[in-house]
Amino acid sequence: MPSPLQDEVSRYGVRLTDEQDAQFDRYLALLQQWSSRANLVGDASAETVRSRHFAESIALGAALREREILRPGARVIDVGAGAGFPGLPIAIVWPQVRLTLIDATRKKTDFLEAVVRELRVDADVRTGRAEDLAHEADLREAFDLALARAVAPLPTLLELTLPFVRAGGRLVTVKGSKADDEVVMSRHALDVLHARAFVVPFNVPGPPQRIVAVVKDAPTPAEYPRRPGVPAKSPL
């Protein structure tokens, strides 16, 4: 008999193996153990984590696979990874991706390192602000795909994430019902950072959500991202 998570993700055309299902069970247990000390999620109940975090992350991965954005061997970076969503669930289901998780908070990256180690997920974890890490040679314009969830309004998010993405690569983020308005607000940032944005449906339970997919057309100017705090205080 399928587990609750196996049953839930089947609606997205995903079939979890028993081994993957066990990895998610261990992920949940670790999240609940660490949640109070690392402030990982607001509600760490099993039902909320499975539906709101695991299943939605897997649904996003399935949508990206369907559109051939998430490909075997792709280098993927999750910016502001927090508790690991959506990057870690995607790497569990599609282990061919090469994942890097970054977060500015050491307690959160300690948690991510524990999950990666115990679940034996092939992922690199880095601690630091995106404004700083995006200027490091091994990370700058090194990724096929950047993922970000609930990090910042889109104009700020573009500056924090696109410097990690190679020309021709993509940023993908999930936004609410006002996604189109955020894209309009981002016209100047998109122009400065040489990118184009598209909004597509994201059919998951709960409040309306949209996928914003951003295509990077050319290298990011060297001055971006600006110093820590500036993208949020003074968006492009």
pLDDT above 90 (res 37): no
What is the pLDDT, as a whole number, of residue 232?
A: 96
The average confidence (pLDDT) of the chain is: 95
Average pLDDT over residues 227-235: 97
For the chain, what percent of residues have pLDDT higher than 90?
Answer: 92
Q: Which residues contact 167 (CB under 8 A, 6 or more apart)?
A: 141, 194, 216, 217, 218, 219
Q: What is the pLDDT of residues 141-187, one digit of tens each?
A: 999 999 998 778 999 999 999 999 999 999 999 999 999 999 999 99
The dihedral built from the CA positions of residue 35, 99, 56 and 120, taken in this order, carries a sign that is negative
Write down the residue that tokens 């999950």 correspond to. 115
Q: What is the pLDDT of residues 197-217, one digit of tens each?
A: 999 999 998 889 999 999 999
CB atoms within 10 A of CB 199: 14
Per DSSP (E only), the strands in the chain are 75-79, 98-103, 123-127, 143-148, 165-175, 195-202, 209-216
Rounded Cα distance, 37 and 40, in Å: 8
What is the pLDDT, as a whole number, of residue 38?
A: 83
Rounded Cα distance, 57 and 103, in Å: 18
What is the pLDDT, as a whole number, of residue 34?
A: 94
